[in-house]
Structure 1
Amino acid sequence: MDSRKIHFLASDGVLAREALTRLIARYGQRPAAGADVIVALGGDGLMLATLQSAEARGLPVYGMNRGTVGFLMNNYSEEQLDERLASAEETVIHPLRMRAERADGEVVEALAINEVSILRAGPQAAKLRILIDGRERMAELVCDGALVSTPAGSTAYNYSAHGPILPIKAEVLALTPMAAFRPRRWRGAILPKEARVTFEVHEPEKRPVSAAADSFEVRDCERIEIESVADIEHRILFDHGHGLEERLIREQFA
């Protein structure tokens, strides 16, 4: 791949900004509108934001780790970038759409590549009613929160909450509770990718709840709907032999 068709961008970290300067000097810089690929320098937060912005142009994103958490990033190297991009493995990710209804009647929509998380926003536990495709499956979950994760995000917040790691090609979503108090032993559910998950908040004034699509937060929610979006694709590139499927398997044996 011609390095003149690369668009580089970086997070605000010192390492990332220094790497950006060196890579542009070595490989040149194309505007995003005329590029074949975006190379993102930072951590997973930057990768998620870049995938969102690149989707409109259909561009793949290749990340190099110049941040802290770098599960979605490749190892940093300034050598042979053209060759690495030419042989890279591509994974296509379909995001989740969150539709959150606030107490004041406002409806906010956002996309999430990793997960949509529902979190208590006060000192008392949240009380959530869970519906799947409009059918009540749990009348009341008392918890610190719950989340719905894609396979790509299953090693992130979902895994920290003791949710399952999902194979990247699995046509499923993970529904995982956080610090469930009642039912105390409920560990969550594996759902079809096409499932529409709805959380209804009980006692929202006494037990306020926020919803977050990746890092985009909506506060004072009363109802949150989550579903996978089949017609939106995010393209992410990994070094040959180190694709996302391999990373997910490797993570389970770490």
Structure 2
Amino acid sequence: MKAAFVASATEQARQARDRLAARYGETSLDEADVIVALGGDGAMLDTLHRHMALDKPIYGMNCGSVGFLMNEYQEEDLPGRLERAQASVLHPLRMRAWRRGSAEPFTALAVNEVSLLRESRQAAKLRIFVDGAERLPELICDGALVSTPAGSTAYNFSAHGPILPIGAALLALTPISAFRPRRWRGAVLPERAEVVFEVLEVEKRPVSAVADMAEVRDVARVEIRSAQEVTLRLLFDDGHGLDERILREQFAP
């Protein structure tokens, strides 16, 4: 398999990239069969976003910290590992966010989650619709998020949201530090559900919307749904796929 190597900005990742390219040779991104990403989970997300249009499978090797989306870094037998690797198929979320007073939406894709976050000391007030029906007239909180299964072990899990199996065709809707309703813990939704947030008291209680690394501030309305037309393929070493990692995470001490 012809590989193109990309690396994060860290010295460790750049040096690893140079060693692998010298050892195995490399080709351009356009001509490659697979993209090998070196770094941590941030580098993987960046690679997915930058090269989404190429429709190439991406194999990550961890040269960062967490590395949940990455394989173990080893320089030996890379061609064999790529040939034996298993693919996990992901569909990102598509966010459309309207800023206060704007008629044109800001659009972005999120592999992990779309988050709404308060911008000031004032708690956010959000109204939530699912598939056009009002489900929560007022949520007072620090924010809320909608997560894919791939992102359910990240920010969603830190906010006490559920971990979703990778093939479950579900989304997690999770509040962040909810004050009212005090006992609301979120919801698990079908993958094709459309979630709409309306920001209440937008001038007094400003809110930003973040799709992975893309942020827009002072939003009044945010629409989120799964982008089923966009397919991402992550490669993992045999026996260490994303479904197995998510399962292990649920039993971690």
Encode CA deviations 1:156-194: one digit per residue, 9 max, x unaligned. Answer: 000000000000000110000000000011100000111
Tell me the SS of whatever aligns to 2:51.
helix
Moved over 3 A (4+): none
Aligned residues: 251
What's the secondary structure of 1:184's corresponding residue? Answer: coil
TM-fit CA distance, 1:215: 1.3
1:54 offset after TM fit, Å?
A: 2.8
Instruction: State which of 107, 110, 121 in structure 2 corresponds to 1:123.
Output: 121
Structure 2 Cα separation of the partners of residues 68 and 12 of structure 1: 14
| Paired position in structure 1 for 2:45 | 48
Give the TM-score, by structure 2 length: 0.98
Alpha-carbon distance in structure 2 between the residues aligned to 1:194 and 1:169: 14
Aligned counterpart, 2:181: 183
Q: How does 1:89-238 map to 2 (within 5 A)?
A: 89-105=86-102, 106-238=104-236
Which amino acid in structure 1 is aligned with residue 242 of structure 2?
L
Q: Secondary structure at the match of 1:33?
A: coil
* TM-score, with length taken from structure 1: 0.97
- In structure 1, the partner of 2:56 is 59
Q: Which residue in the other structure is 1:241 paired with?
A: 239
1:18 aligns with 2:7: no
Structure 1 partner of 2:24: 27
Across the aligned residues of Structure 1 and Structure 2, the Cα RMSD in angstroms comes to: 0.7
Structure 1 residue 104: Cα displacement: 3.2
Counterpart of 1:73 in structure 2: which amino acid?
M
Instruction: Output the CA distance in 2 between the equivalents of 1:132 and 1:78.
Output: 47
* Structure 1, gaps ≥5 residues long: none
Q: Which runs of 5+ in 2 are unaligned?
A: none
Percentage of matched positions with identical amino acids: 65
Deviations 1:100-153 (A, max 9, x none): 000130410000000000000111100000000111000000000000000010
Aligned twin of 1:8: 5
SS of 1:86's equivalent in the other structure is helix
Aligned residues of 1:54 and 1:61 also touching (Cα < 8 A): no
Structure 1 position 58, deviation (Å)? 1.3
What secondary structure is seen at the aligned counterpart in 2 of 1:32? coil
Contact 1:54/1:60 (CA < 8 Å) preserved in 2?
A: no
Aligned to 1:87: 84
Q: Distance in 1 between matches of 2:198 and 2:112?
A: 22
Structure 2 letter corresponding to 1:172: L
